[in-house]
Amino acid sequence: MNQPETFTSPIGPLITRYLTLKRALGRRAVSMAYILRHLDRFLVSCHAAGLTRETFTAWSESMASLHATTRRGRLRTVYHLCLFRRREDPHGFVPDPTQFPPQSPRPLPYIFSEADIIRLLAAAEGLSPHKVSPLHREVARLSIVVLYTTGLRRGELVRLALSDYEATHQVLHVRRSKFDKSRLVPLSADAAMELDRYLTARQKLGAPCDGDAPLLVHNHGGRFRGYTGEGFGHSLKQVIRAAGIRTSQGRAPRIHDLRFTFAAHALLRWYRAGVDVQTRLPALATYLGHASVVSTQYYLTFLEATAEAASERFHTHSAAWLTPSVGEGGRP
């Protein structure tokens, strides 16, 4: 059973009330609690009498080694805490968010082609089982297929338990993921076949079959343990590098780019079929577990780029015969 959180700085009671409110509103507030715990310990370590402009600045400077985006996120968490305090103390300090590190532009995702996916599967097929990971090949293959065909987040796949797969209906149950949202994710026939093949290999090795057992397992640190997000990411990145796939900047694509690829390919299929893409966005948002359709609209930027490129290519190759020739007297 988890022990109740204890905050011992002068603003400890304020933090406790703030987190209690957020959780009462349905937020798990895991990262929020982590950040505020870090602030609380900092205030204790420097014997601060409270959260003032000076202590806030000192705390911000203590995180100078972190990426600007990470610092910005932490500072904004405390900014909202200070706004909450203003309800009780109208004169309480509130930092100026315009002075926070600027938000970094989102990295341009890599959209995998079907040929890229074939190369990834070939690289996974070439993996050999070993003592720490007897299902090395099977886990890699299944991960590529599921991430590519469902758009799941990496953490969602890692947290799946055996009971989260309904074989009869070929559906995955993603529980309490980002934004505390749960959803059912139907699998394609190929993805369900790959998952059934993996489960058969998993059972032959004697892995536990109770519903709470993790779906993806390895033997690092113990038999049939579930992957951490970091460990899973490291393993799959090796497959991506082995496949020789590189972005235009010469880097290996991110695992999250498989999620982008799923969304972009779905939008492109609708575009080519003449479907009104805007009317389909709510369905795609629900499938991907987005908090709102606004997040899903971000993927349209890649669809528009693809459509523009296709239009330009069509113009380059077809302009000559589409433009009527002009004969004598100015008539075609």
The structure's pTM equals 0.72
Q: Please list the active-site residues.
A: 153, 178, 256, 259, 290, 299
**Averaged pLDDT for residues 47-60:** 96
Phi, psi for residue 226 in degrees, rounded to 5:
-75, 155
Residue 328 has pLDDT above 70, yes or no: no
**Mean of pLDDT values over 16-41:** 92
> What is the spatial distance between Cα 186 and Cα 165, in angstroms, rounded to a whole number?
10
The partner residues of 186 in beta bridges, in order of sequence, read 171
**pLDDT (average), residues 44-69:** 95
Q: What is the pLDDT of residue 182?
A: 87
pLDDT tens per residue across span 123-179: 999 999 988 899 999 999 999 999 999 999 999 999 999 999 999 999 999 997 776
Answer whether residue 312 shows pLDDT above 70.
no
- Is residue 160 within 8 A of residue 239, CB to CB? The reply is no
Give the pLDDT confidence score for residue 315 in this predicted structure.
63
Does 51 have pLDDT greater than 50? Answer: yes
Among the listed ranges 8-22, 193-207, 233-247, 273-287, which one has the minimum average pLDDT value? Answer: 273-287
Largest Cα–Cα distance in the chain? Answer: 93
CA pair distance 283, 300, nearest whole angstrom: 14
Higher pLDDT, 297 or 194: 194
Q: Which amino acid type is present at position 303?
A: L
Task: Say how far apart CA 143 and CA 146 lie, in whole Å.
Answer: 5
pLDDT of 326 strictly over 50: no
Check residues 105 and 332 and name the one with the higher pLDDT: 105
